[in-house]
Chain A
Amino acid sequence: MSIMGRSGPGRQQRIAALQIAAQRDLEQIRNILEDITGLYSRWSNNIIVAPMSTRYWGIKEWTCDIGIREDVLQNLEWRWTTMIHESLHAISIDLTVEALTQHRGWEGVVEQMQRSLRSSIFTRLNITIENTRLQDIDQLNPYNGYIRELERLRGRLDIESDRFYLDLLSTPLNERSQFVRRLGESQLTGNDRRAWLQLFEDAHQVLIKR
């Protein structure tokens, strides 16, 4: 475990306590997510308590360490939603630098899964957070644009949410777009197929941010 930021005896103790608690909770989340998804987590088992000067709320580093700001770890709803979100990045198949750069919005799957899985995770961990508070923080998320496009595609395909997003999470990031495109192509014919391809292309342009 790493300690970042300015030190002082009281602060060091606080950070150490945050790390211990976050380590325990991330291990529980990892176990539940592996159980639910059937996928293997690449999390390094290392949690970094990041200082308040950090430019992010939470992050899954390329070393597979998970970093979360100390203020986030002290806020009930942000703490759990961020831990679940970052843990899902550690499970997401073939999340590489190249794939993230070229297919960034297709990793929005992780935030949508965080929202759909959190209530069952909270139940298993005996945690109570008001749903309205969670919905309020969802509104602030900059990945909502990605989720909107993924939901448009899912809606047209008429696939049940959990199935759709788990299939995407299990597909390498740089193959997710073609996976979804082919789903539509295999289901639709004629004008419906043409409309699907247009819908797909419009959504894909938003998801790859070009």
Chain B
Amino acid sequence: MSVEQARQELVEQMLRATTEEEVRAATEAADAWLKKHPNDVTVLLAGEQLTMIEHGLQFMKEQKQRQSA
């Protein structure tokens, strides 16, 4: 697989992540990619939606915990 193909697959994985597990896998994959390619703008831009969903899931989890406490 070429670097460009790997990059496109990563971006697709980041944009599709919905569940906690998918988000965790996508963030790990993105972090590993960014270690090698720290200035990859497309991946960093895709990181916006991924991080919004990651933080959103955390936010909802905390809300549920507060309600059940």
Contacts and interface: CB of A to CB of B under 8 A. Distances in A.
A59 to B, nearest CB: 5
Given A97-B59, A209-B15, A141 B45 contact: yes
Nearest to A102: B18
Contacts of A122: none
A24 interface: no
Q: How large is the interface on A (under 10, 10 to 19, 20 to 34, 35 or more residues)?
A: 20 to 34
A62 B56 contact: yes
Interface stretch (A41-49, A50-58, A179-187): A50-58
B47 A101 contact: no
Interface string B26-57: 01001100100010011111111111110111
Interface of B is mostly: helix
18 contacts: A54-B47, A55-B47, A55-B50, A56-B51, A57-B45, A57-B47, A59-B51, A62-B56, A100-B49, A104-B15, A104-B53, A137-B41, A142-B15, A142-B42, A142-B45, A209-B15, A209-B16, A209-B18
Interface of A: 52, 54-62, 69, 97, 100-101, 104, 137, 140-143, 209
Interface of B: 11, 14-16, 18, 27, 30-31, 34, 38, 41-53, 55-57, 59-60
